[in-house]
Every structure is written in C-alpha cells, then in structure tokens.
A and B are shown apart, each in its own frame.
Chain A
Amino acid sequence: GAGVSQSPSNKVTEKGKDVELRCDPISGHTALYWYRQSLGQGLEFLIYFQGNSAPDKSGLPSDRFSAERTGGSVSTLTIQRTQQEDSAVYLCASSSLRQGVNGYTFGSGTRLTVV
C-alpha cells in the first residue's frame, strides 16, 4: 500500500481482556517495528521483524505481549490480560532496509485505553 496502515485506530478494552493490534506495512518493506508511546513520553521499542522472523524482541515488557508476522507482510501485536499500564499509543513502522540503516515510515498508531 501507499503507507503503513494500522487498525484499529482506537481501542477501548476492559482490564483483563485480550487485544490484537494490526499493522500492514508498505509493500516490499522487509523490516517492521513496533513501538509504544505513553502519554507525553518518547517512543519505547518493543520488537523488530526482518521478514517473518523477530531477531530482536527485547523490548516486549512482559510475557503478556507477543507479536507475529506472516507472509513477510502483516503483523499483529497481541496483549493478553490487559492491564491499565498497557494504555498507550502503539505505533508500527516499516523500512526497506534492515533496522536503522534508513528512515522508518510510521503508521498513525492504535490508541489503546484499558479501563
């Protein structure tokens, strides 16, 4: 597609429920990243995919967080048993080269609110 697409744009969920966030990167971009941004804060790295594999998942905050990527394209970030501290904007980005070598294209993010 023309840009990185994320869905849903907003998600309100009850504490303890599971949520799935979706990212559709730019066609042909082999590298995909998830970041999290809490209110008024900088971006926190979560995970990096190169193709379908995740060479760096060091930023996932707990085992409640998981992510997968299929077909070298769409990625889903799953948060199980959501907690209030999971509330944040989850941003996905993709790039044509490996991590950090060139600029990233970001999606508009999913604003997750856990009530």
Chain B
Amino acid sequence: SQQGEEDPQALSIQEGENATMNCSYKTSINNLQWYRQNSGRGLVHLILIRSNEREKHSGRLRVTLDTSKKSSSLLITASRAADTASYFCALYGGATNKLIFGTGTLLAVQP
C-alpha cells in the first residue's frame, strides 16, 4: 500500500514543548506533504517537500525527508494550545499517481 503510516497515533505534550511526528511509507514518491485538520473538518496544507529535498522549514515547522529510509518527520517547535489538531502526511507519486493520505497523528497540546 502507498499509504503513509504515522507514528505516534496520538501525542500529548505541554505548551512550549516540541512535538515530533513521523511518517513511513513503502513506495517511491515524487513529494510528501503535511496537512493539519481541526475538529474533523477541512484540512490545511502546511508544507511540501520534494523527493530531492532533505529538509524544509516554515515558521515553527521543520520537515525532514529520508528517501533511503522512506520516512519523514514533522517537528513543531515551541508548541501552543492552538496547535492541537490531527496531522496527516500525504504521499504523491509511485504507481497510483494520486495524493494518498496517511492515518494521522492526533496532537494535544496542554496549556
């Protein structure tokens, strides 16, 4: 399956701490994207990293990609209560040629 597997499934931290979520996959990809979802409704695109990139930053977000290990991580630094949400990785490329979403990590940031 091309679907990304996210780890952990759930994460609870205190405000100000860093949160790290991981995504592993099995097939080749063209790019990997991270999305945030609040309250089970629309998703918000956070960041896209291409297969020839190893690291990208956007504000408090840092994404890494290791194509040899077929894994990516999303780091949120100095977390805030407003970061509480589900985070999904999404893979593009490989045989299916569509954007396939992972299973998600539920992040709870305690104030």
Chains A and B come from one and the same complex: yes
Contact with A along B81-93 (1 / 0, CB 8 A): 0000000100011
Tier of interface size on chain B: 20 to 34
- What residue in chain B is nearest A35 (Cβ atoms)? B101
For the A-B complex, the count of residue pairs with Cβ-Cβ distances under 8 Å equals 61
Q: Is the CB of A106 within 8 A of B42?
A: yes
B103 CB contacts on chain A under 8 angstroms: 41-42
A105: Cβ under 8 A from any B Cβ: yes
A105 CB contacts on chain B under 8 angstroms: 45
Q: Is the CB of A56 within 8 A of B102?
A: no
Interface SS of chain A: loop
B31 CB contacts on chain A under 8 angstroms: 100-101
B11: Cβ under 8 A from any A Cβ: no
| Chain A residues numbered 1-18 whose CB sits less than 8 Å from any CB in chain B | 4
Q: Which residues in B have some Cβ–Cβ distance to A below 8 Å? A: 3, 30-31, 33, 35, 40-45, 48, 88, 92-93, 97-104
